[in-house]
Chain A
């Protein structure tokens, strides 16, 4: 296990930079650095990139606990907050790109879309549910909420399912990719359910003794 100094001074800064790479790739493309470009439909490219990485970071965040257990890496949990906040960041940027660049603050259309288009309603719900998790991600809030903090943050299970559903409904014909994400999320959630399964009575007595 890496020492806490290594985690703090090396792993966390490196992870911070790595997680920012999708954002940097967009910035490079926007300014044509290294011949990169946002293509014929830059707004779509920006929105899709943010959305895709939002979903990926949700899955990565959800994977922290199982991976920790499978590979016996307890220190991984120390990285979870940063991963979760990056998930929130990319999802928020995905939403803001839609609101500002795609819709151009065309409020009547925006409200109609959120209310009447199921895939947008679902995506928007996922974003709204992420807000309390981001707000309560500080050490202070963790202490203040105590046991309720863990309960609240189980919302991530629902959020991940909503995010996959949002993606699934947005696809025009080939749903292979959304189904791959669904499989990943179901494995990560299913493993949690299996771990929390009720134990046979005899073992339970043994464990209590």
Chain B
């Protein structure tokens, strides 16, 4: 369905976005299979409505909320962000969503809320990938509270002015453009405020390859491949790789979050 969206120019790139076709047929969403084409092919049975999100943990207002209530009162913005996958390819995507901070603040997190943990829905009957043990289901992710409150962090509900297709994480997903794509947890059913750093799925699967922070960093390679350059989806057969930018090009906005941290250690 079409959404009423207003472009947020301050947080949008001037780069031309990838085609709707590329964005919706080339996906990593292991809940629907391991191949990039699997999510588009295997997600038609998934039911993104009605949808409820549980808000739990260190906050004054917790409980279960219908998605409509979670979004009520928030204007949906369009933001054209870079997306850099940990596999060294990238896209430009016109997301539609609301700033995560605006939603989180409504629950009044307490002083104990140092982190925010997210969980994906567990529905093996609708998500064939969850029937195999390729990862530890359900998928979980997390952010430090200051990362979650950063104005770039977006709770996306759509792309290209339409509601999110199932393969892109319907009906609600996280977008943190300065981090590798796997931080952008999809089909969120729980938001939990925690005092301790929450576990994250890829870190559980391969701790030496995927850290909690997962900030895009051309100077810290994945143990098995270089992160210095990336392939831009849509550049074609002869489009060569381009240099990857620190924090995926959002260095000015987010570098202060990591002041004094050794990014080789906290990868």
A: residues with CB less than 8 A from B are: 30, 38-44, 46, 101-104, 106, 109, 112-113, 117-119, 169-170, 172-174, 176
Contact = CB atoms under 8 A, between A and B. Distances in A.
Contact of B241 (A30, A102, A170): A102
What is the predominant secondary structure among interface residues of chain B facing chain A?
Answer: loop
A176 B132 CA distance: 10
Nearest to B222: A117
B241 A106 contact: yes
B135 A170 contact: no
A203 to B, nearest CB: 48
B22 A40 contact: yes
A104 B224 contact: no
A174 B37 contact: no
A40 B233 contact: yes
B248 to A, nearest CB: 18
B26 A173 contact: no
B107 interface: no
Interface string B40-68: 00000000000000000000000000000
A164 B134 CA distance: 19
Nearest to A175: B134
B237 A41 contact: no
Nearest to A174: B134
B92 to A, nearest CB: 13
A44 B134 CA distance: 21
A104 B236 CA distance: 13
30 contacts: A40-B18, A40-B25, A40-B26, A40-B36, A40-B233, A40-B234, A41-B26, A41-B36, A41-B89, A42-B236, A42-B237, A43-B231, A43-B237, A44-B89, A44-B231, A102-B241, A103-B240, A104-B240, A112-B226, A113-B226, A117-B225, A118-B224, A119-B224, A169-B224, A173-B205, A173-B206, A174-B34, A174-B132, A174-B134, A176-B132
A176 B241 CA distance: 30
B241 A103 contact: yes
Contacts of A174: 34, 132, 134
Contacts, number: 61
B240 A106 contact: yes
Nearest to A42: B237
Most B C-beta atoms less than 10 A away, residue of A106, A119, A172, A176: A172
B160 to A, nearest CB: 15
Nearest to B201: A173
Contacts of A169: 224
| Shortest beta-carbon contacts, A-B, top 6 | A104-B240, A40-B26, A174-B134, A40-B22, A42-B237, A40-B233
B2 to A, nearest CB: 24
Nearest to A170: B224
Contacts of A101: 237-238
Contacts of A39: 25-26, 36-37
A86 to B, nearest CB: 23
Nearest to A113: B226
Nearest to B37: A39
Nearest to B235: A43
Interface string B208-231: 000000000000000011101101
A173 B37 CA distance: 17
Given A102-B241, A173-B206, 12 more contacts: A39-B26, A39-B37, A40-B233, A44-B231, A103-B241, A112-B226, A113-B226, A170-B224, A173-B30, A173-B135, A173-B205, A174-B34
B134 A173 contact: yes
Interface in B75-128: 87, 89
A106 B229 contact: yes
A119 B221 CA distance: 14
Nearest to B236: A42
A104 B232 CA distance: 13
Contacts of B134: 173-174
B241 A104 contact: yes
B237 A30 contact: yes
Contacts of A172: 87
B226 A109 contact: yes
A109 B229 contact: yes
Contacts of B30: 173
A41 B233 contact: yes
A118 to B, nearest CB: 8
Contacts of A170: 224
